Structure 1
Amino acid sequence: MTASTDYLVRRLRLRHLELLVALADAGTMRAAATRLHLSQPALSKMLGEVEAGFGARLFERSPQGLAANALGQAAVYRARVIFGELSRGQEEVEALRTGATGVLRPGTLSVTASVPRAIARLRRQHPGARVQVQEGRVRDMVQRLLDGELDGVFGAITPELLTSELLPLLRPELLLEDELCVLCAQDHPMARKRRLAWADLQRSDWVAPPKDTLVRQALMTAFLNGRLEPPVPSIEVLSSVTIGAVLRLDASLVGAVRAEHAQDEVARGGLRRLAVGPAIPLPSLGFYTRRSAGPPAPLVSAFATALRRFGARPQ
């Protein structure tokens, strides 16, 4: 431990770190003081102590309030991670106290075939493990990972993330390739076709995710590559579970999903995957963890190993 780090450990308290987060979130001294139930003079004194500990100004003052500079953003980020780790520690101690062997908090796509298999394998190896799955958009899950709220994220390894300033903070591992898939009900007129071109589906009634999703953009690319006007979906919905439900209820529709989702929906029954070409790739799926000085927790490593096993299989 360096002398400067020793000063931080001995002189600063969690309350100082809480102050950093409050100032970053609130943007003004008054709002942060209200949030922390402190007077503004007391808050100013604490901020001075924090900045003295780091040996640098962390916030820039202006008539509009306070904004963390580059140094402050780094300090605030680490403060959030510390609070996330404390929360995780509290959950793990409580879980161990009540008989569990540990807690795993993965983030994932809303529907995936690989994650349930990996969880089942993990539970066979660690019967007492508790798994708290969080679902949502990958970019949101990654931010929660960096804030210490999650242990890892299974999702698309997108160009956006690979070129993001967040990449140095992440450890992405590619697990499986993915592609655009088209589903329909088993009694849809196209269901028995052995081979289709995208032009054959141009006039179909589509159910698809919104324009800002990778799947919808891949669907548009499929038609544009053939110099065709992309269809406007009759139904637009983010959840692939809802897409599957609508397709089962309305045999006139075809739906766009990723291969990982198609596998799960077809297994539920009532749907068929159409053989449409040429294939349109989607960003590969992988497992993100946070870069840190120490190795991942045992449950995180075991979960990553289980994902590798299923991710390596042809889908």
Structure 2
Amino acid sequence: MSEPIRWYVDDPLEKFWFTALCYSSHHESDTQTKLTHHPIVCQQLDKQRLAHSPELLSKVFSLLIDAHYQTSPDDIQRLLDAPESICFIMFQNNRVLGVAQVNQEGGLKLSGLAPAITQGQRRVKGHLVAQNIANLYNDEAFCTMRQWRIGRIAIHPHLQQMGLGSELIAFIKQQAIKHQTDLLTTAFGCNSALLKFWQLADFELIKLSNKVEVSSGEHSCICVYSLHQDAQHTVNNLTKEFTNELQFQIDKAWKTMPSTLLADILRYIDEHNSVSQTDIVKQYCEGFRNLDSSQRVIRNHIFANAKELNKLTDSEQGILVACILQKQVICSSI
């Protein structure tokens, strides 16, 4: 959309505010943003440096605007002075390639309120994942674990799909360990592309909302990455609880979710959480049992062997998930 709504065409006041609030695009052209032989460097960005460098701030914030449509001028203030906010930048030869905004959550700040938060009696500002998961799974310990939530990550639009985002996340993992952090977390509108991105970074899905978010039109989800063995024990327990919830809700709360997206989710669940009866599945496939008497076992078999979905085409995966798991249609064969 380029036609002004609140301004006259070429209104100087519009240009002033767009420049002042970093809404003007500062992306270089394709030829200027190609990677060179110079080393790619990642570092934590000092707030003072960012505040005193309008050009750098504009480039960083332009990338954040591209990454999320809900970015607002308030985010500039949080980027510059919020004590819990950390900004990481990726650059090459003084060109900004990517940026990530991280929020510190949980830890000692919530220790005194953890019981009330877990029981749903209190809710403090911020700490989105720490409070949400602690309350959902009644896990008081999770609330006080030291967490870094990757709120936004953005790579220059002409340099995406080149592994730079994964490289930036790897750097954030290293820095989080140095700061004795327990978990990295992230929350986003669930779609296949984003899910694949975070799962390639070894983040594990522990929550999927029952309802579609009005703002995004997608189910929101939360993924976590453990930074040490004790934290991994907590994550393992959460993923098992999520798997149980997924099996129960898949034909209820998530019945209308795109079956191909559910197939993507299933490939990363705990495959050891269900018991499979392969003989009954084989009998159905060979035409010796009907679907009504086999559906429960086939359902369990899918959950127990979800990674095997990779051997099917996208269309076959969609039919299998929709028919057996979501119970969207009645069919006589798979």
TM-score of the pair, normalised by structure 1: 0.26
Higher normalized contact order (CA 8 Å, seq sep 6+, divided by chain length): 1
TM-score of the pair, normalised by structure 2: 0.25
